[in-house]
A = this chain, B = another copy of it.
């Protein structure tokens, strides 16, 4: 067995960050749409143009609690010389509105109730004596005090113009209008509109199901005792949380030991619930890096696009990366390096855009800004590699936190930004403007 046995084609080619990302985004396709209940579709992307089936409001209705009357009957009315009208009953919200308002008549009407035929305008209850025979009132008596509804007479103290306090049928949206265009992300106001026009379900791209799997025989679960050589598994927790944050439904599988057979069968088991698989660890050049080994025999190698390709990227942290698709459904898989900071930065740069692409979102990337580097001494960066340093951003400046080490997880927890040092820059002076990725 020669040393060549450990070499793969093109292994010495360093992929740029952009090439790797392009490869991912060119491969990952938005998920097939499904019909979801309105509240289950929150945060999802609409795939259909939704038109309005029925005008809103569906009928002329009152915008006030008051009396529905004819304009002529209240012309010239004042507190001193009120218009005295016969109250023919109540029109409540939700009533079918069978009352007919004739000359000299008034129907007591509630906000949202249909304007009864014959009525031309609404006078608010505050402009009347409320049928009490005294001065102006501030509201109506509760129905429980007079369940039979209003009767008798009402004194109206002010005139009203035609269709005052009336919301016209179709004044919000008209039947046939475009309510929401395909591509709209459904937030609370969009869900409000869909419900208002009677849509109980809607066709959207679902949230992707992401399975997160860390590998490494050194990993043990939190809340257990560490033996010699062991550390706690943090990647599976961090990336599950990050996947949820990106909009996915994420399943944390936890740490799998460095054994190719175990890993292969675990991945095959998980495929059934994965729209995207993410692994950490086992992608470098070590003898125990079983992710490479295991993934070479998962899925159908004969089919185009099958299999996972392992690469070296011109970046720090995060040099070793794997990407491809596995299993009968060509489920995309991203194999990230195992160091906590490497895997987290890789997630932000590659997995998050993949998740958001699966969701059909147009805006798949974190926002980037130019910020002034605030630091005591120049940052150093290896030539030929794009460096992503953890930083804290505030008001146009960014301050590095912690060092460049890919194991510095404490500093990561203080960061809210990544400082990007381009491939050609080996040193960045304080006060320089740097590209900054905002993580929150």
Contact = CB atoms under 8 A, between A and B. Distances in A.
Contacts of A180: 413
B6 A111 contact: no
A92 B215 CA distance: 13
A439 B185 CA distance: 14
A368 interface: no
A189 B402 CA distance: 14
Contact of A114 (B113, B229, B409): B229
Interface in A260-295: 260, 284-290, 292-293
B189 A93 contact: no
Contacts of A26: none
Contacts of A125: 285-286
A234 B39 CA distance: 11
A265 to B, nearest CB: 15
Interface stretch (A17-25, A136-144, A354-362, A372-380): A136-144
Contact of A39 (B112, B195, B252): B252
B135 A3 contact: yes
B189 A1 contact: no
Contacts of A222: 38, 194-195, 198-200
Contacts of A406: 63
Interface in A381-440: 405-413, 415, 439-440
A231 B196 contact: yes
Contact of A409 (B6, B196, B218, B232): B196
Given A198-B223, A237-B39, A286 B192 contact: no
A167 B407 contact: yes
A226 interface: yes
Given A96-B228, A286-B111, A287-B65, A241 B188 contact: yes
A233 interface: yes
A132 B3 CA distance: 6
Contacts of A130: 3, 6
B234 A142 contact: no
A194 B179 CA distance: 45
Specify which of A65, A232, A284, A406 lies most central, judged by the most chain B CB atoms within 10 Å of its CB: A232
Contacts of A293: 142, 144
Interface stretch (A54-62, A76-84, A156-164, A327-335): A54-62
Chain A interface, >50% SS class: loop
Interface in A151-190: 167, 171-173, 177, 179-180, 187-190
A33 interface: no
Specify which of A38, A338, A344 lies most central, judged by the most chain B CB atoms within 10 Å of its CB: A38
A405 B171 CA distance: 10
A121 interface: no
A252 B200 CA distance: 14
Given A2-B132, A189-B344, A222-B200, A288 B143 contact: yes
A96 B229 contact: yes
Interface in A104-148: 108, 110-114, 125-126, 129-130, 132, 134-135, 137-146
Contacts of A188: 238-239, 241-242, 245, 344
A113 B222 CA distance: 19
B200 A223 contact: yes
Given A96-B229, A199-B223, 12 more contacts: A5-B145, A65-B286, A90-B287, A94-B218, A94-B257, A108-B287, A142-B293, A172-B411, A188-B242, A195-B234, A196-B234, A196-B409
24 contacts: A6-B137, A6-B139, A38-B222, A39-B240, A57-B231, A59-B229, A93-B217, A93-B288, A94-B257, A95-B229, A110-B286, A113-B229, A142-B289, A143-B287, A143-B288, A144-B293, A172-B411, A192-B409, A192-B412, A195-B233, A195-B236, A196-B409, A197-B232, A198-B232
Report, nearest first, the 4 A-B pairs whose CB atoms are least far apart.
Answer: A139-B285, A200-B223, A94-B218, A192-B238
